[in-house]
Structure 1
Amino acid sequence: MMGRRQTIDRGTILDAAEQVVLRDGAAHLTIDAVAAEAGVSKGGVLYAYASKDILIDAMLERVVAVYDKLAEQFLAEAGDHSERHILAHVQASAGADPTSGGRAAALMASFIRSPQFRSSTIDYYRGLFARIDPATERGRRARLALLAAEGAFTLRGFGLHPFSDAEWQTIHDDIIAVLLS
């Protein structure tokens, strides 16, 4: 009789990996630690993610996907115009829940030292800044809006300032009203 093939839930593995990083730091992210956190075998983790680098890629992709989905929803409604991407980024930041922002900040900080992961983050921001024309007042305002939203994200994500949900929304409303309208 053949045994039933075990199904490994990739989301559970990613959740476990995030927990290890958030609780213990990136230096403690090992396949063994993720397996223990997820309650699966080391082989189960490696079945889902063939290497630690692939696991880290998946962790970062999942965090970015939350923001991308929010931005894409905005662009689908408002129209996909170059300058609207900055507005979409600000709107996505406003709409992200505090826990996803905290996870994003912690994961980025943990892995940014790696050239591979640093490169993908640089490419992401390069793409955003490339949509801005700093030779125009509108472009300079968009650049300030992006920097303001990222500054707020950093403060909140690293727990450096405890913005309430109402403050968070007001900050983004102000960024939009003062810089992007």
Structure 2
Amino acid sequence: MMKARTRREDRPLVILDAAERLIRRMGTRTLTIDAVAAEASLSKGGVLHHYASKDALISALAERKLREIRESVAAHEAEQGANAAALPLALIAHARQVYADEDGFPRALLLASAESPEAFAGFNAFLKQRLAQMEDVACCPGAGAMLTFATLGLLLTRTLGFHCLEGPELEKLFDAMECAAKGLPKSGSPTP
């Protein structure tokens, strides 16, 4: 089989895209360097040059997904302005945006994290840093973190297939979460 020519600087993205397609189609158990190389039309050595192992590949996929989440949350957060509810509202807005778009990849990636827990170290650090920023909510310490974990829990249980809320039921839940988040004070507001 003739391998397609891929520009050297594009290869890491081509490899990640190929790995993502394989995970979507077949899950992580069948994800191998050989399979990724075939999917990307590269040699095994070409894949190994950029990602030395399956774990390195999964870590790179997780980092890419985290980057997408960070960008989405940051954009939603910027719309909220400076207040204690900005992060929970941004996470809720992100969840609304991606909830119904589940196509199997996040679930497979999540399952892959069981094999490579270090792949999500970046997400853990991101979450820890953002939760620390919410500790100053004067009206109800822990409220921002509670809303954040409620949102993550909704996405996680959807991703794992435990439920799939739809229509008015889903909108009612998101609306209730937003209502609770909007009850958080603006930064610097006096304690009630």
TM-score tier (shorter): 0.7 to 0.9
- Number of the residue aligned with 1:32: 34
Residue segments in structure 2 that go unaligned for 5+ positions in a row = 184-192
Going from structure 1 to structure 2, the CA distance change for 1:119 and 1:62 (only over 3 Å counts) comes to closer
Take 1:115 and 1:43, find their aligned partners in 2: how far apart are those partners? Answer: 25
- Number of the residue aligned with 1:58: 60
Residue 176 in 1 paired to residue 157 in 2?
no
So what's the TM-score if we normalise by structure 1? 0.77
* Equivalent position to 2:124, from 122, 139, 143: 122
Residue-by-residue CA offset, 1:153-177 (whole Å, 9 max, x unaligned): 0121122212236644442222011
Take 1:130 and 1:85, find their aligned partners in 2: how far apart are those partners? Answer: 11
- Of 75-84 and 152-161, deviating more is 75-84
1:5 deviates by 6.1
Q: Max radius of gyration: which structure?
A: 2
Take 2:154 and 2:177, find their aligned partners in 1: how far apart are those partners? Answer: 10
Residue 17 in 1 paired to residue 23 in 2?
no
Across the aligned residues of Structure 1 and Structure 2, the Cα RMSD in angstroms comes to 3.0
Count matched residues.
178
So what's the TM-score if we normalise by structure 2? 0.73
SS in 2 for 1:161: coil
SS in 2 for 1:171: helix
SS in 1 for 2:91: helix
SS in 1 for 2:164: coil
- Number of the residue aligned with 1:84: 86
Residue segments in structure 1 that go unaligned for 5+ positions in a row = none
Matched to 1:40, the amino acid is: L
1:31 deviates by 0.9
Going from structure 1 to structure 2, the CA distance change for 1:139 and 1:124 (only over 3 Å counts) comes to same
